[in-house]
Structures are given as structure tokens and as C-alpha cells.
Amino acid sequence: MSLRYLENVVTLEYDRDKCTGCGKCAEVCPHAVFVMADERKAKMTDRDLCIECGACMRNCPFDAIKVRPGVGCAYALMMSALRHRPAPVCE
């Protein structure tokens, strides 16, 4: 049984040198991609579990994390592609 999506595709990057170990990324990640293993640095675990929500990047005070946030919703991509423009309106 596995609730995993595609491998090796997400844009998540972690610069360990910039990390001060504040722990905020581990607090916000809904997939435990970041954990505080030893207290001094965050550890990036299973990168393929990342859903690119962007919570870690936004809450890292030291710019140690980069990811291109977005919503993994095929329907949204399709509707927007069909309209050829952003269309933030519900029917």
C-alpha cells in the first residue's frame, strides 16, 4: 500500500549551510519531508513526498529552502489551458 505520487519530479531545494535549525519547516510540512533530526540543522528526508505547497519556504526565516509552489490539480490546469488565461471565477 502506498500513497506516493511520481518520483523525482518536484522542485524542492534545501541549502543546509543556511539552516540555523529553527525548526519551522518541520513544524509546517504536512509530509514530514523536513524533520529536526539533530537539533542543529533540519534534515530533508524523502523528497519525493513533497507536494510543493511552499509552506517550508515561506516560513523559513533564513531562505534555506526553495520550491516552486503550486497546486497539483489537473482540473485547474485543464480549465486554465482551455481558457488560455487565468480565470479565477467559479461557475
Partner 1 sequence: MTKVFDRFLKNPEEASCGCEGGCCGPPAAKPEGGQTEARPAPLTPADHAWIIGSVETAEGDVPLVATRLNRADRNGTLLARLSIKRMSHAVRPGLYGFGKPDAWSPVFVTGNYKMSFDYLRRSLDGRDGWILVLDTRGINVWCAAGKGTFGTDELVARMEAAGLARVVSHRTLILPQLGAPGVAAHEVAKRTKFRVVYGPIRAEDLPAFLDAGSKATPRMRRARFLFKDRIILTPVEIAMVIKSKTFLGILIAWALGLIGVKFLSFNLPVVLGAVFIGTVVVPALLPWIPVRAFSLKGWLLGFLWTAGFLALNGLPATAGGWLSAASYLLILPAFAAFIAMNFTGSSPITSLSGVVKEMKTAVPLMILSAGLGLGAFIAAAVVA
- Asked if 54 interacts with ligand SF4 (CB under 6 A), we say yes
Angle at 66 between CA 61 and CA 68, to 5 degrees: 125
- Return the residue of 23, 43, 45, 66 that touches ligand SF4, per CB under 6 A: 23
- Asked if 11 interacts with ligand SF4 (CB under 6 A), we say no
Q: Which stretch binds ligand SF4 (CB under 6 A): 1-9, 28-36, 75-83?
A: 28-36
Quickly list H helices, 3-62.
24-28, 55-59
- What residues pair up with 44 in beta bridges, in sequence order? 34
Give, as ranges, the residues between 19 and 78 that touch partner 1 (CB under 8 A).
24, 26-32, 49-55, 58-59, 61, 68-78
- Asked if 31 interacts with ligand SF4 (CB under 6 A), we say yes
Kindly determine how many residues on this chain lie close enough to bind ligand SF4 according to the rule CB under 6 A: 27
